[in-house]
Structure 1
Amino acid sequence: MKKVLFSLSIFICAFSSAQTFKYPFQNPKLPVEKRIENLLELLTVDEKIGMMMDQSKAVPRLEIPAYGWWNEALHGVARAGTATVFPQAIGMAATWDVAEHLKTFEMISDEARAKYNKYFDESNKTGRYEGLTFWTPNINIFRDPRWGRGQETYGEDPFLTSVLGVAAVKGLQGNDSKYFKTHACAKHFAVHSGPEWNRHSYNAEISKRDLYETYLPAFKALVLEGNVREVMCAYNAFDGQPCCANNTLLTEILRGKWNYNGMVVSDCWALADFYQKQYHGTHPDEKSTAADALKHSTDLECGDTYNNLNKSLASGLITEKDLDVSMRRILKGWFELGMLDPKSSVHWNAIPYSVVDSDEHKKQALTMAQKSIVLMKNEKNVLPLNKNIKKIAVVGPNADDGLMQLGNYNGTPSSIVTILDGIKAKLPNSEIIYEKGTEVADPSSKSSLYQNFISQKNGEKGMKVEFFNNIEFKGKSANISVNKSGINYNSFGGTQLAPNVGRENTSAIISGIFKSTYTGDVILSPSTSDVYTLFVDGKEIATRKGPDARHPSEFSVKMEKGKEYNIELRHSQKGKYVSITFDVYRKDPVNFVAVKEKVKDADVIIFAGGLSPSLEGEEMLVNAEGFKGGDKTSIDLPKVQRDLLAELRKTGKPVVFVLCTGSSLGLEQDEKNYDALLNAWYGGQSGGTAVADVLAGDYNPSGKLPLTFYKNLAQLDNNLSKTSKHQGFENYDMVGRTYRYMTEKPLYAFGHGLSYSKFNYGDAKLNKNTISTTENLTITIPVKNTSKRDGEEVVEVYVKRNKDASAPVKTLRAFERVFIKAGETKNVELTVSNDSFKFYDEKVDDLASKTGNYTIFYGGTSDESGLKSIPLKVN
């Protein structure tokens, strides 16, 4: 038997070595560089250009499939069907847990590979949101709480952002010596953090010190430590040049000083801003734009301006050699991901689809949600709640909103536990009273009117839904039904919209007769993933022209009581992912007194409020007071919630504010109206369970703030740099911003977070009181849990350069999350890198080591009143 097996193994080896390939680039045993050069020789100019955009065109004669480069995995695989949804990035930053962050992204990349394998096996190609190249993480600095996309970042600190960003990259890209698991992407390079409304025309101007000490460190870390394989250039301009054709950022720093050899990809349709006069308007036309971006090493475009590279060539603006420089980096991506190799040769391809939404991943989503929660205030130890509590009132717009918990750039979980769900499950013996009370920012309450529809004259209750297996509403209907409960269809989980309806390239006509029960405004609210038109009595009142179009979510129509109206929503979808919802409702003023009366007998009131990704996010059309374009113009809690909180306070009962948000709020004026403040961020699919675990004391909170909570907007704006030509939110100078440059005491400091345990910091010891600029520093900090409860503490170390007025007040340079049993003392040893003593130096136009006297701060917050200090000399 052994002889037979031995002979068989010889045969297999001989067969493998004798395996022939039509072209050398197809041979996975050849060096990657040789494969790239062979493929470059074979490709025509048109074929090269076709592969330089996110929707990469197939080259059938060379067996190269079509490929979609654009994919997202901010906190779980996004926009590609069912996936585990972890807390929003800002929430994961609040965990300050590098090991768990890495583990989370290893799980995300497992789901990513499994999905790619499935999609490619089904069609021998991949479309948008189906590939292995993920435009994650967002490592921009959250410099101003008004930025709507700050929720996608790891907060305001360059060091915390760097450490978590590198962990995300390593988790996504894997640790294989030959093949990357997926590609990660550092975005948006580099001076980019709002406003959303003018990002296509804004020109950022900052000092070199701010550039090198604040805006670049995280990108540098991802390039040099994380080996990130893609970098995305931003929409805005920097020093007069659009970021995707910027000498300083791309040529001098990224490709020059850092010697980056990976791909640069443009933000989506950012190149179109170059030649449009209402935006940057820095270039005369498409061909000059394409040429300039290419010469500045933007290799791959998300968009279609690179379709003009043939014109750039014909005009002599570029040569084919210029194309080849970028193509080498693009093709390297194909080979290092194994996308042109036999499937069996890439071990990542063996990851089974069963990992998607697996029990292990669901458990991790809960773990990260628990760790992300920050207990910001707990007067009179209101929390944890007594589990024998008789009556609990749960109030607020975020209490039963699962979609809010998903944040933005999110996937679709198989289930969501809302805060209300979590409390009911955790405390089954308590009476739970639920009152939504108000919308997030709308000073009125919504009452659904869907029940007023009939499908047709003398028809059934509900709306008629007619699907077609084409995008033109033509031919025989694929499915006709009447939906009595409400319009909510989606195929993101890979399911059909309805029996006999295809999974892509469909259209639908949703219609009904609406009979108004009152005279006044009726709100029609359609939402679809592609193109739609809304008609009332045959008149078009709203249209959306594409998947990336920004549009209002509500349309008000004046109607008369007793009158009937023909409503029709026409939807068409070119891709395979379809989402169609349609709501109809009335708005009435919030009756605060009525809400108070309903909950006044409760033993405790849980108010779940804050913000929502429907208000803050990327380039949105939002009409609510205090919001603009996805950003905030005010950092106050929306007025309707402030008023409701004040009314709830009049009950005299303890009020616990569960804050759901992607950014910090100026809550000073509201502090008197709640006893405890629990920041739950956008907690992902298990956010509600995590909140209930903390409220009930089954999980001891341990999260820390990754950003500053200012008292109010005036506290921020009054301290900003006065030298910038831009004011307020548009001022990119760091003076007066974040804990690093703020001299006043905020409402809640960066790094702040309470626990049900109590920790006492002893006197730390340095391994040396004087070090050289090339040495790392070791600090040992004794931390004692003085309570009767086990808990986790995040030990934080900050560095201050003395007698340097332009240096930060202090900067985070080391941290570690540690578990400490009740009564136990742990000696926590942390390393402060010698890079911590580098600051901008004009002579070298970069960071350089600075000798002199320093102060090392340590504790569980950045607030100096809660820190201890020890001097250090650097020679």
Structure 2
Amino acid sequence: MKRLFMLGLMAGLSLQSIAAEPRSPLLDDKPAFIASLIEQMTLEEKIGQLRLISIGGDMPRERILDELKAGHIGGTFNTVTRHDNRPMQQAALRSRMKIPIFFAYDVVHGHRTIFPIGLGLASSWDLDTIASSGRVQAIEASADGLDMTFAPMVDISRDPRWGRTSEGFGEDPYLVSEIARTMVQAYQGQSPAAPDSVTASVKHFALYGAVEGGRDYNVVDMSPMRMHQDYLPPYQAAIDAGAGGVMVALNSINGVPASANTWLLQDLLRRDWGFDGVALSDHGAISELMRHGVAKDGREAAKLAIKAGIDMSMADSLYREELPGLVASGEVGIGEIDTAVREVLGAKYDMGLFHDPFRRIGLAKDDPVDVNAESRLHREAARAVARESIVLLENKGQTLPLQKRGTIALVGPLADSPVDMMGSWSAAGVAKQSVTLRQGLLDALGDKAVLRHARGANITDDPHMVEYLNFLNWDKPEVVQDSRSPETMVAEAVAMAKQADVIVATVGESRGMSHEASSRTSLQIPKSQQALLKALKKTGKPLVLVLMNGRPLDLNWAKANADAVVETWFSGTEGGHAIADVLFGDQNPAGKLPISFPRSVGQIPTYYNHLRVGRPYVEGKPGNYTSQYFEEPNGPLYPFGYGLSYTDFELSEVRLSSPSMPRGGGLEASVTLKNTGSRDGATVVQLYVRGEVASVIRPVKELKGFRKVFLKAGETREVRFKLEEQDLKFVNAQLERVAEPGVFEVQIGLDSEQVKRGQFTLL
């Protein structure tokens, strides 16, 4: 009774009204408690729990409060302050059943402090660094009253035309799976019920990164073997790590939309993987079943979704409108409704909301005076993570690091753009709080050198692109054009550059160009910026390119003409400081690419672990009648796992602890790593395995381990990897996970191409 009294007091209810309402004495017995609630609920109240509503987007706040009081909403998203969330929770607790709601948001790579985008985090190849970003995200999100994040996004992406490539962690199932596991554990901490934890909802289930042609929302048609071998493992890793939620993808899979896919949601997710959390549709996905052409009307769409296993309908209208009639007609059984409600209530129980609905909202007297206060940011952590995410692609003649003297010309439309620094899905981040490269360089230089700045070009001069990119933003235009002519802007930049000792050109994409619904047909830097770069090259000054982008770009010109190229992705709140740290050598870059960079859009898909073919192209040999493109060199411009340093590293030959591996056993592969340069630094030692013969075609190699190692100049260290039979397993034609006997090659290198080799036999 004391607990019920406290809940009622917080909800503004009287003790008498609490005593008169349905309640369960079994609060600490999850199954019994939830069963008791479901037994007492009306059908209308059950359906209410299956609705996930966007604040402001789907219905006005006033109506939401009325719906909550009636028990017609199970959860909401898009409010990010305790002040806003508290009245809604209070309204939910005034409903007959007093079931709390949960609050969710897209906290993908930061909440108030923004970290590098997914590709940037993956470029660190450092799980501790990635975990630190996830823990900060959880702390900040929970401090704003949020209970769930729609993250991590673990879609394997091998077509960089897809705009959402920016959100994910790259092309490799092993690396992405390791990060998926890490992020779930970081978000949920010791328990998703902890006040400083949030429930992870892994997305987008499934195969969203494989949309045909890289075009967002498009179809996916894929063999089951490839699905299980390459694309499904990261989702399963997140589930195995305890993710409490799954967001279901918008795409179809082999002709069946994911939101109506019983095999995907029932057989695979729940039966095979043992998932017992809550399955959420993506925004409006159930109504889209009609446009997919598998439902003739809203009634049929709702029926397909609930039977397939969609527990909560995001931006719902159809569950509310159609499920009562479907149950009345017997087309949907009450047991099917109860199953979905059980998952929703179970998620809320695991969040700790039944024990304390205000666990993360807290008391009004403790609300921050300013939700955007500087004191709420975690700048030190953001800078540390961003430094690790930067990849050095080129450094001719040791152009970098720069000296803090003389005159530096900073040029480019992204050099002083705080909003673009944050990247897509930047949650509650405030653009004016992000550090641009211009500010970062000024802070680093102080009075030691002169920094001059010119815009030089617009992001693009294509009015159609500008209109589209600004339409994506609901609040205000993000791509603001300089009204001067392109010729005037380039001339100003060139004149300034001629007076400088070195040029730092900050070019690439606006954040909206690497975003949901921002698929591209070209991977080139926009023409306006290309013209600027070519004019700067003609000055003869050292040219350093700082790239900001959310996908691999066509960098052929940059590779041939720039003196140094630094891939910074969209590096977040402290991006400007982190990039300056690298440019001036206060941080020795150690990032490695988590995704291959093709030479041109015509090479897509380009990924390192492709299947073998009968007529492979071999570098240095005649290409006739081999699998190749004849117009340009084959292979990626920059391979998976690639990244330079300001020092040099050398690997010994591979040593194996045994020439064979017994069944159920293992062996150790090791190399000696030496820092042969003059600077301290870190690199990532990467372990790949290639099975020589199998019952089905296997990839040319597969990542099976990695170690980030820091060495002082001249220091040597042995790096060991343990290989077990489990690491050699693959999905065969019968969709069984097997390890077949035979010869395996071990490859260890500092990227996926330049490797040392050893060999053993699985007995």
Question: Given the two structures, how large is their TM-score scaled by the length of structure 2?
Answer: 0.83
SS in 2 for 1:76: coil
**Cα 1:586/1:34, change in 2 over 3 Å:** same
Residue aligning to 1:407 = 423
Contact 1:773–1:837 at 8 Å: present in 2 too? no
SS in 1 for 2:152: coil
**Cα 1:783/1:103, change in 2 over 3 Å:** same
Residue type of the alignment partner of 1:795: V
Residue aligning to 2:498 = 600
Contact 2:142–2:360 at 8 Å: present in 1 too? no
Is 1:750 matched up with 2:640? yes
Contact 1:288–1:317 at 8 Å: present in 2 too? no
Residue aligning to 2:379 = 362
How far apart are 1:357 and its partner, in Å? 5.7
Residue aligning to 1:379 = 396
Residue type of the alignment partner of 1:759: F
Residue type of the alignment partner of 1:588: S
Residue aligning to 2:57 = none
String of CA shifts for 1:643-682, please: whole Å, max 9, x gaps. 2211111111110000111110111133222110000100
How far apart are 1:803 and its partner, in Å? 3.2
Residue type of the alignment partner of 1:103: S
SS in 2 for 1:645: helix
Residue aligning to 1:230 = 245
Residue aligning to 1:420 = 438
How far apart are the structure 1 equivalents of 2:662 and 2:186?
34
Residue type of the alignment partner of 1:309: L
**Cα 1:717/1:680, change in 2 over 3 Å:** closer
Residue type of the alignment partner of 2:459: V
How far apart are 1:708 and its partner, in Å? 0.4
User: What is the root-mean-square deviation of aligned Cα atoms in Å?
Assistant: 3.4
How far apart are 1:801 and its partner, in Å? 1.2
The equivalent position to 1:553 in structure 2, one of 452, 470, 481, is 470
Residue aligning to 1:507 = none
Is 1:106 matched up with 2:135? yes
Contact 1:773–1:850 at 8 Å: present in 2 too? no
Is 1:89 matched up with 2:122? no
The equivalent position to 1:306 in structure 2, one of 288, 310, 319, is 319
Contact 1:159–1:813 at 8 Å: present in 2 too? yes
Residue type of the alignment partner of 2:119: I
SS in 1 for 2:442: helix
SS in 2 for 1:204: coil
**Cα 1:198/1:90, change in 2 over 3 Å:** closer
Contact 1:406–1:685 at 8 Å: present in 2 too? yes
How far apart are 1:343 and its partner, in Å? 6.3
String of CA shifts for 1:459-488, please: whole Å, max 9, x gaps. xxxxxxxxxxxxxxxxxxxxxxxxxxxxxx
How far apart are the structure 2 equivalents of 1:248 and 1:104?
34
Is 1:839 matched up with 2:756? no
How far apart are the structure 2 equivalents of 1:680 and 1:353?
36
Alignment length (residue pairs): 685
**Cα 1:597/1:736, change in 2 over 3 Å:** farther
Residue aligning to 2:148 = 133
Residue aligning to 1:614 = 512
Contact 1:657–1:677 at 8 Å: present in 2 too? yes
SS in 1 for 2:149: coil
Residue aligning to 1:281 = 293
Q: How do 1:563-574 residues align onto structure 2 when only pairs under 5 Å count?
A: none
How far apart are the structure 1 equivalents of 2:606 and 2:125?
30
Residue type of the alignment partner of 1:418: T
Residue aligning to 2:39 = 41
Q: How do 1:485-500 residues align onto structure 2 when only pairs under 5 Å count?
A: none
Residue type of the alignment partner of 1:294: I
How far apart are the structure 2 equivalents of 1:581 and 1:856?
48
Residue aligning to 1:829 = 720
**Cα 1:349/1:762, change in 2 over 3 Å:** farther
Residue aligning to 1:53 = 51
How far apart are 1:525 and its partner, in Å? 9.1
How far apart are the structure 2 equivalents of 1:829 and 1:426?
38
How far apart are 1:251 and its partner, in Å? 2.3
How far apart are the structure 1 equivalents of 2:664 and 2:251?
37
How far apart are the structure 1 equivalents of 2:740 and 2:699?
14
Question: Given the two structures, how large is their TM-score scaled by the length of structure 1?
Answer: 0.73
Is 1:700 matched up with 2:572? no
**Cα 1:833/1:179, change in 2 over 3 Å:** farther
Structure with greater strand share of residues: 1
The equivalent position to 2:225 in structure 1, one of 209, 213, 221, is 209
Q: Point out where structure 2 has 5 or more consecutive residues left out of the alignment.
A: 10-14, 54-72, 75-91, 614-625
How far apart are 1:218 and its partner, in Å? 0.5
String of CA shifts for 1:571-621, please: whole Å, max 9, x gaps. 9x9xxxx769897974633443453233112110000001121222112xx
SS in 2 for 1:162: helix
How far apart are 1:382 and its partner, in Å? 0.3
Larger Rg: 1
Contact 2:144–2:361 at 8 Å: present in 1 too? no
SS in 2 for 1:815: strand
How far apart are 1:736 and its partner, in Å? 9.3
Residue aligning to 2:65 = none
**Cα 1:199/1:601, change in 2 over 3 Å:** closer
SS in 1 for 2:717: strand
Is 1:588 matched up with 2:505? no
Contact 1:798–1:813 at 8 Å: present in 2 too? yes
How far apart are 1:717 and its partner, in Å? 6.0
Q: How do 1:161-176 residues align onto structure 2 when only pairs under 5 Å count?
A: 161-176=176-191
Residue aligning to 1:251 = 266
How far apart are 1:873 and its partner, in Å? 1.2
Contact 1:26–1:340 at 8 Å: present in 2 too? no
Is 1:430 matched up with 2:449? yes
How far apart are the structure 1 equivalents of 2:229 and 2:465?
49
The equivalent position to 1:147 in structure 2, one of 158, 162, 166, is 162
Contact 2:162–2:215 at 8 Å: present in 1 too? no
How far apart are the structure 1 equivalents of 2:671 and 2:326?
61
How far apart are the structure 2 equivalents of 1:203 and 1:582?
30
State, as a whole percentage, how many aligned pairs show the same letter.
30
Contact 1:369–1:690 at 8 Å: present in 2 too? yes
How far apart are 1:817 and its partner, in Å? 1.1
String of CA shifts for 1:488-524, please: whole Å, max 9, x gaps. xxxxxxxxxxxxxxxxxxxxxxxxxxxxxxxxxxx99
Contact 1:710–1:747 at 8 Å: present in 2 too? yes
How far apart are the structure 1 equivalents of 2:273 and 2:340?
17
How far apart are 1:815 and its partner, in Å? 0.7
How far apart are the structure 2 equivalents of 1:722 and 1:795?
24
